Amino acid sequence: MTRVPRLLAAAVLALIVALTGCSTSGGASPAPSGLNARTSSGPYQGFGLDPPQPRPSFTLTDTAGAAFAFGSRTQGHPTLLYFGYTRCPDICPATMADIGLALKTLPVSLQKRTYVVFVSTDVKHDTAALITRWLKNFSAGTQANFVGLRGTQPQIDAAQAASHTFLAEDGGLTHSARVLLYGTDDYARDSFVYDNAVEQKQIEHDLPLVAKD
C-alpha cells in the first residue's frame, strides 16, 4: 500500500475539516473559486491561501444594531474573520477560545490594533444579546476589538461568498471551520483550522507577521 506523504495528508485533512463546522449532518457547499488549502511554505505556520484573498466588502449589523461595513471598518488592521454560531457545542467555542488565548500572549499594542470579527450563520436564533454574551467568554482579558455581526440569510450568504468561504447549510449549523487572517496590506495569505492547541500557537506566530506587512 502506498503511504500518503505526511505533508499531503495534513493538507487534505485541513481541507476536509474546513468544509464542515459544528454540525455532523449534511455536507458543505462547493467552494467559490480561488479558495485552495495548502500548508504554508513561507513564514506562516497556518494554512496558506493560494491565491491570496483581498479583504472583502460586505455590510452586516453589529450587536449594537448599527451597520458595520467590514471592508472599510477593518481596513489596514490585522483581522481574524470567522463564521459560526453561538449554540455550537464544540468547534466554534474552541476556535474562539484559541483566538482569545493567542491574543493574550501578544503585545497589548498589537491587540489594540487587531479586529476579531465573528459572523453568525444562525440567522434564526443568534440575537444581538446572545452574540454579545457569547463573545465576552473569549474577549475577556484582551484588548482586541471583538465584533459580532448578524444579518438576513441573503446578507450572510453574500458575506460568505465575498470572503470566499463555503456557504453554511442546515440553517447555519454546517459551516466553514476556517478562520481567515487579513494583514495590514488588506490581503489574507494565511488561515487556520481548529486543531486543539495547534491553532492557538499558529495564531500567536502568524498574527505579528501580518501586522508588519
pLDDT, mean of residues 187-204: 90
Q: Report the largest interatomic distance among the alpha carbons of the chain, rounded to a whole angstrom.
A: 57
- 51 prior amide bond cis, ω within 30: yes
Nearest 5°: the CA angle 57, 16, 44 is 60
Residue 108: all three cell numbers together: 497589548
- In the predicted model, what is the mean pLDDT of residues 43-55? 92
Q: Which runs of E-coded beta strand occur in the chain?
A: 37-39, 47-54, 59-62, 67-69, 79-84, 115-120, 145-150, 178-182, 187-193
* pLDDT at residue 62, rounded to an integer: 98
Tell me what percent of the chain is helix, strand and coil, each rounded to the nearest 5: 35, 25, 40
Task: Give the chain's end-to-end CA distance (angstroms, integer).
Answer: 44
Going by pLDDT thresholds of 50, 70 and 90, the confidence category of residue 8 is very low
Q: What is the CA radius of gyration of the chain?
A: 16
Among 40-49, 95-104, 202-211, the range scoring the smallest mean pLDDT is 40-49
Instruction: Provide φ and ψ at 132, rounded to 5°.
Output: -60, -50
Supply the pLDDT for residue 31. Answer: 35
Does residue 133 register a pLDDT over 60? yes
pLDDT greater than 50 at residue 4: no
Give the whole-number percent of the chain exceeding pLDDT 90. Answer: 71
Residue 81, pLDDT score: 98
Residue 18 has what pLDDT?
45
- Report the CATH architecture of 6-210: 3-Layer(aba) Sandwich (3.40)
Three-state DSSP state, 82: strand
8 A C-beta contact, residue 61 and residue 126: no
Query: What's the CA gap between 160 and 154, in Å, rounded?
Result: 10
Torsion angle of alpha carbons 128, 114, 17, 201, nearest 10°?
-130
pLDDT of 50 reads 86
Ramachandran bin of 60, using left for φ above 0, alpha for ψ from -120 to 50, beta for the remaining angles: beta
Give the three cell numbers for residue 202.
499558529
Q: Which pLDDT score, from 0 to 100, does residue 23 have?
A: 56
Q: What is the pLDDT of residues 87-132, one digit of tens each?
A: 999 999 999 999 999 999 999 999 999 999 999 999 999 999 999 9
Stretch 68-78: mean pLDDT: 98
Question: Domain limits of the chain?
Answer: 6-210
pTM of the model as a whole: 0.84
